[in-house]
Amino acid sequence: MSRRSLRLFFCGLAALLPVACAAPTSLDGPAAVASDAATTRVPIVYGSQRPLVELVFTGADGRERRVLAWVNMGAPTAVLSKNLYRELGIGAGRDLAFRIGEIGITVPAASVTDGPGELDGRDLFDLLFAPRRVEAILPASVLRRFTIVLDPAARTLTLAPPGTLKPTGVPIPIRVDPATGIATVEARAGETVLPLVLDAGAPYTWLRGTAVAGLLRLHPEWHRADGAVGHSNLAMADLGLERDGTLVRLPDLALGDLVLPAVGALGTGPMLGRVGDALVGEMFWDLWQRPAPIPVAGWLGGNVLSDFRLTIDYAAGQSTWQRQRPADPHDLDGIGLTLVRSGDDYTVGRVAERTGEPLVAGVEPGDRLVAVDGRPLRGAAPEVAWDALRGRPGTIRRLDLERDGRPVQMEAPVMPF
């Protein structure tokens, strides 16, 4: 792979798993809240288990354009689809102007990324969200200008001036990068301290593979499987990160006085193979953490954050956690397959294993998953595929597969993770 191809690959991968590749530009200068609205609350919809909000952009001709944007707390810069970037004249130096609810925001053109990148020739917005159309990322560098409230139960996002809200719940200090807005929290699993990025925009918690390997040396009983399954298979890309990842269940993850029970996490597999990663380190994480205020062990994703009404006061370096629902230790229970999304189809990247034994007999990597219990998957959104494979342990699912152009049908049990 050439140096240019490698850079494009990692830029695309970074947008996929939630960070932007362009170097961030501070928003303290040209960017500003443009309206007099003090507080706004907007509805959230979910696509592929990621929170989306509507933004209203103003084009060069003065017309308004309403688009869905991914609320990505791990992204340092605003990202637009290539078509929207050109339609709004950003490449010609026109600053990005948009509204979220009643608040107007301006972002300097130099701080806006042109397109989310591609993986295997597919636009990453399309790869992650199709058939839903998503055209922008609302990044941490914009969110940090406010106190925000993510309320999954009400499905709302609130933006308010810093220091104006009085949230209830457990206060947890955070560290915020002053330019990118990316926020980290110190977590503790057993004896191990894990600095983690807060990112409700990621469906599941991911950790460095080396961090998980260290945890398992101390607590081998935390191991659940090898290979990403369910929502931990959040990229659905043919990458070692997921295919060779390690699933763990942390009995307790402590954030100060707040104890999170039964937290599932994927320790990512080697990006460049075991030899490559041994030589150059965990390249994905080393690149991904650059906009963070400190070196991190991973991110805390939606499997945890969606249980809470989360208030983040970026200026005060404070988060407040109000639990809305109990933790779900069965959030990954399902058929043990690591899926790859290829065009409109889902193929098997790996059959998950436990103690070296495959959890689904008869299925092979490269098989196309056509349907589950008669439910067709071609052209379906990722959440449809995840939901089709989920279930109560012991339930039998019928899998319709295609192997070398031939139909194959078999039954597989739902496994606990």
> In CATH, what number is assigned to the domain containing residue 280?
2.40.70.10
The pLDDT of residue 376 is 97
Q: Does one domain contain both 227 and 303? A: yes
CATH number at residue 393: 2.30.42.10
Asked if residue 299 lies in contact with residue 183, where contact means CB atoms within 8 angstroms, the answer is no
Domain closes at, from 265, 290, 323: 323
Q: How far is CA 384 from the centre of its chain?
A: 17
- The tokens describing 199, both together, are 């990112």
Q: Does one domain contain both 24 and 70? A: yes
Residue 150 falls within a domain, yes or no? Answer: no
> Does residue 22 register a pLDDT over 80?
no
Q: Does one domain contain both 304 and 236? A: yes
Residue 59 falls within a domain, yes or no? Answer: yes
Length, in residues, of the chain: 417
Q: Does one domain contain both 250 and 307? A: yes
Alpha helices (H) along 151-202: none
The burial class, CB within 10 Å (0-12 / 13-18 / 19+), for 264 is buried
Q: Does one domain contain both 284 and 406? A: no
Residue 384 falls within a domain, yes or no? Answer: yes
Asked if residue 202 lies in contact with residue 128, where contact means CB atoms within 8 angstroms, the answer is no
Q: What is the pLDDT of residues 347-399, one digit of tens each?
A: 999 999 999 999 999 999 999 999 999 999 999 999 999 999 999 999 999 99
CA distance 53 to 379: 23
- The tokens describing 143, both together, are 């969110």
Q: What is the pLDDT of residues 212-232, one digit of tens each?
A: 999 999 999 999 999 999 999
Helix (H, G, I), strand (E, B) or coil at 256: coil
Q: Does one domain contain both 292 and 178? A: yes
CA distance 37 to 54: 17
Amino acid residing at 337: L
The pLDDT of residue 75 is 96
Residue 401 falls within a domain, yes or no? Answer: yes
Asked if residue 296 lies in contact with residue 184, where contact means CB atoms within 8 angstroms, the answer is yes
Q: Does one domain contain both 70 and 124? A: yes
**26 — pLDDT class (breaks 50, 70, 90):** very low
Domain count for the chain: 3
Domain closes at, from 268, 292, 323: 323
Q: Of the candidates 287, 284, 302, 293, which has an alpha carbon nearest to the alpha carbon of residue 208?
A: 284
Q: What is the pLDDT of residues 245-285, one digit of tens each?
A: 999 999 999 999 999 999 999 999 998 777 667 666 789 99
Q: In degrees, to the nearest 5, what angle opens at C-alpha 299 toward C-alphas 156 and 220? A: 130
Residue 330 falls within a domain, yes or no? Answer: no
CA distance 378 to 359: 24
Question: Residue 272 belongs to what domain range?
Answer: 160-323
Q: What is the pLDDT of residues 303-318, one digit of tens each?
A: 999 999 999 999 999 9
Say which residues have a Cβ less than 8 Å from residue 144's Cβ, sequence separation at least 6. 27, 176, 180, 181, 183, 314
Q: What is the pLDDT of residues 66-107, one digit of tens each?
A: 999 999 999 999 999 999 999 999 999 999 999 999 999 999
Q: Does one domain contain both 269 and 177? A: yes
Q: What is the enclosing helix (H) or strand (E) of 168?
A: none
CATH number at residue 81: 2.40.70
Q: What is the pLDDT of residues 113-138, one digit of tens each?
A: 999 998 767 889 999 999 999 999 99
Strand partners, 318: 173, 313
Q: Does one domain contain both 218 and 272? A: yes
Residue 182 falls within a domain, yes or no? Answer: yes
Amino acid residing at 159: L
Q: Does one domain contain both 192 and 256? A: yes
Q: Does one domain contain both 184 and 296? A: yes
Domain closes at, from 87, 115, 144: 144
Residue 155 falls within a domain, yes or no? Answer: no
Q: Does one domain contain both 312 and 386? A: no
**60 — pLDDT class (breaks 50, 70, 90):** confident
Helix (H, G, I), strand (E, B) or coil at 106: strand
CA distance 347 to 97: 40
CA distance 370 to 400: 5
CA distance 365 to 344: 18
Q: What is the pLDDT of residues 168-216, one digit of tens each?
A: 999 999 999 999 999 999 999 999 999 999 999 999 999 999 999 999 9
Residue 301 falls within a domain, yes or no? Answer: yes
Alpha helices (H) along 295-397: 302-305, 382-389
